[in-house]
Amino acid sequence: MIRWLKKRFRLAPPMSEAEFHSEEYRPWLLALALVAFEKYPNDKGAVIKDLLAYPTLQFSEAQATLMADTAEVELRERANKVVLEELTQQAQQLVKMGQVETAYALAKTTFLQHPSAADIVSIFFQIGDRFKSETEVLTDLGELSNLVPEEHYNIHYRIGLYLKDKKRYAEAIAVFEKLNQEMVFEWNYYQIGIMHNLLGNTSACLHHLEKAFEMLPSLTQDAWTFPELQNLQDHPEFQRMAQPVA
């Protein structure tokens, strides 16, 4: 690998800081560190020494340490992903078996450990659709938002989608409007526009769709194929604002 690296990138020792931090080299430097961790599992000190032992690249101690730190994070993320997938599958299986409280407890614990995991949040909707009232689902999600404040925005976006799915359009619109007060997001405008269309409020629908398209022009492609907007395809204003992106 070292010979290939030198030939591919025409590297000459010692490796410059600019070369070391460039995006072009990053994957290969990570690969070197991961190989070192295979030789010395759970021993970052030995990994750093191994990287420093490469005379052909002559890493500095700071560079070798950064490589080991980066590889350690990568390995931890890979391990967490495997664990998360297993826990998600277990929770889904418990839902299928009707063990609702156990599934909920597992999903909640997993979410607290991995708050950015969207698949775990979906478990609460699965439980709600089969075993709980809409009020209970919203209460559960509100509790999660309070427990993990950093995921407040994402959870409330999912709450908005849940209310939309239940045809509680006015409440869903209120959720997305409140989210836009916290941080403007094109998909909030898009969802609001869709629901105004479902409510028959064409003017409000087009107003919000145009805001969404201005922020993210590629959304026009979705709008032309989205079933809940197909009634607008002959509308002159929709045709004007939703011209396909070249």
Per residue in 200-233, pLDDT (tens digit) is 999 999 999 999 999 999 999 999 999 999 999 9
Question: 56 or 242: whose pLDDT is higher?
Answer: 242
- Give CA–CA dist 49/77, Å, rounded: 23
pLDDT at residue 59 above 70?
A: yes
Alpha carbon 228 to its chain's center: 25
Question: Contact, 122 vs 111, CB < 8 A?
Answer: no
DSSP 164-208: HHTT-HHHHHHHHHHHHHHS--HHHHHHHHHHHHHTT-HHHHHHH
For the beta carbon of residue 10, count every other beta carbon within 10 angstroms: 7
CA 30 → CA 11, 48, 71, 176, distances in Å? 16, 13, 6, 40
pLDDT band at 118 (very low <50, low <70, confident <90, very high): low
For the beta carbon of residue 21, count every other beta carbon within 10 angstroms: 12
- Give CA–CA dist 36/55, Å, rounded: 15
pTM of the model: 0.63
